[in-house]
A = this chain, B = another copy of it.
């Protein structure tokens, strides 16, 4: 069954806002995100680097933290007010979700919690304001990403994840289901008025498949690819450029030095009106994943970043999309 959105959620989520990644070589990762991807470095400390997109006035949308292992530490969402953090905390308590109030530099009231499928989340209601550099054109680098946009998480139970997030206000924009059934293989949920803030797809999980930034246009996307090639990261282009059927995103995926995956993309669409129906794609319809060209590799489909100390479960749904290896006849 398709879940329906709670029109009166317990607290108000407003957008994807920041992602916290643990990396094993902080300087090398900083260089990658600054020079190859083209993010702005807001601040560096001994053990962390804070970055943001060129139009972002909030202090950070990507935090790199030094650690012994490559991990996805937390996926960040914004809530509207400080009061929403209080409400969210009460909600977690009532729902029996692991949660914790924490104090973090450059963030207002912040709540960590783990969703029912094990995704490590971080909610905050505000950040320190810094310069919006959207008109510092002379300083633009590589793809000149504008802002963080969404996350994709692999989960063993897409239905459970979707039920949870729609029950607290997220809305389904598009989804993939096993042919001839209502079994959900992937769900694209949004809260900020376009196609997605949070995506769950079927697979071993919870693991973060990628986080995504918007770029201004196809030229910026292609320039990012050219810059990656120039700087020795050409083999780390994990997929693309190509066009997703779902969401209409023109995409490019890259792997960072720890093999965390970032998507750069452009042109999804507005999704605000309540009468808009979520768009269904059959799992067998390869166009859901690419409107043209070849499918993604197994590497793209099956590699993702684990959360610390969070067990990875086998997916409930046995349904594998065709990979590039399948198409080329690899055994």
Q: Once the chains bind, are A291 and B226 in contact (CB under 8 Å)?
A: yes
Q: Using Cβ atoms and an 8 Å threshold, which residues of chain B touch A216?
A: 217, 266-267
Asked if A223 is an interface residue, CB under 8 A from chain B, the answer is yes
Q: A14-B273, A126-B273, A277-B129 are in contact. Are A137 and B328 (CB under 8 A)?
A: no
Q: Using Cβ atoms and an 8 Å threshold, which residues of chain B touch A294?
A: 237, 297
Interface pick from A20-28, A159-167, A228-236: A228-236
Interface pick from A43-51, A241-249, A255-263: A241-249
Copies in the complex: 4
Residues in A28-69 with C-beta less than 8 Å from chain B: 35, 55, 57-58
Q: Once the chains bind, are B276 and A129 in contact (CB under 8 Å)?
A: yes
Q: Using Cβ atoms and an 8 Å threshold, which residues of chain B touch A237?
A: 292-294
> CB-defined interface of A115-131 with B at 8 Å, one 1/0 digit per residue?
00000000000110100
A331 to B325 CA separation, bound complex (whole angstroms): 11
Q: Using Cβ atoms and an 8 Å threshold, which residues of chain B touch A274?
A: 80-81, 126
Asked if A330 is an interface residue, CB under 8 A from chain B, the answer is yes
A142 to B139 CA separation, bound complex (whole angstroms): 9
Give the residue name and chain of the B residue nearest to A58 (CB). B273
Q: Using Cβ atoms and an 8 Å threshold, which residues of chain B touch A277?
A: 129
A275's partner among B129, B146, B275 (CB-CB below 8 A) is: B129
Could you jot down 21 A-B contacts, CB within 8 Å? Answer: A15-B273, A57-B276, A58-B273, A78-B273, A127-B275, A129-B276, A129-B277, A132-B269, A135-B230, A137-B227, A146-B269, A216-B217, A216-B266, A217-B266, A218-B222, A222-B250, A229-B290, A233-B292, A235-B292, A294-B297, A330-B331
Pairs A-B, 6 closest by C-beta atoms = A234-B292, A229-B292, A217-B217, A219-B219, A229-B291, A137-B226
